[in-house]
Structure 1
């Protein structure tokens, strides 16, 4: 199989309770991330072979996750409260494959941007900074 339809992917928000319950964020139209990256540390020295720079892996960054939604104030405005949180909240990115591959991560909301054009639907982009290591199950 060459590819897979992304329809049905969900970004779920944890409620912080024990046991934690996750609820899908309503009306997503696009989800991106996490954008994993890694720093590199320059370890080049005067005796590096053939004058080539050398590197080792440094700290890793979980990047960001963003979700575009058909904005409905009644469905999405409770998420704006997350913007005031300084502690990360748990989220799950659930893919629509048969095993429902899930990326779990803690994140801090860094952006909530509604858009209200005069000739189109209400939309919003919500962005989260990943804190720590995402896990895949």
Structure 2
């Protein structure tokens, strides 16, 4: 069978201790892992074969992570301290595949947007900027 059900994916927050212990961020309803990208450097010259432009790989951007949660102040307001911190904190995404694939990365919380409409659930949207290379591993 092709594909994987995303249900059960977990977003974890590191405690900064040695060794690092990760605690699940509660009530995540939607999660977008880092969207990595890479710049290219134009190395085209007058000698480029058949007048085709040539490129080499440049800097890599680790992207951003975003998540939506069912907002509960007692479970989510500790993340505001991450917003106040100038240094990246370690986070981890654990996927629900057989190997429990993990993406571990340092990131800075750049956005925390709670919403409490009168006719719907309280929610919050969070955004992190990843700083450095995500480490892909397995939990099994």
- Scaled by the length of structure 2, the TM-score of the pair is 0.95
1:114 paired with 2:137, answer no
Deviation, structure 1 residue 51: 1.6
Deviation per CA, 1:22-44: give whole Å up to 9, x if none.
00100000100211000000111
Deviation, structure 1 residue 124: 0.6
30-39 or 111-120, larger mean C-alpha shift? 111-120
Segments of structure 2 that go 5 or more residues without pairing to the other structure are none
Query: 2: CA distance between counterparts of 1:62 and 1:110?
Result: 15
The residue number in structure 1 matching 2:105 is 105
Query: 2: CA distance between counterparts of 1:5 and 1:129?
Result: 26
The residue number in structure 1 matching 2:35 is 35
**Structural mapping, 1:16-31, within 5 Å:** 16-31=16-31
**Structural mapping, 1:58-77, within 5 Å:** 58-77=58-77
Q: Any idea what SS the aligned residue of 1:106 has? A: strand
Runs ≥4 in structure 1, deviation > 3 angstroms?
Answer: none
Q: Any idea what SS the aligned residue of 2:131 has? A: strand
Q: Any idea what SS the aligned residue of 2:18 has? A: coil
Deviation, structure 1 residue 87: 0.7
Query: 1: CA distance between counterparts of 2:51 and 2:115?
Result: 52
Q: Any idea what SS the aligned residue of 1:133 has? A: coil
Deviation, structure 1 residue 118: 2.1
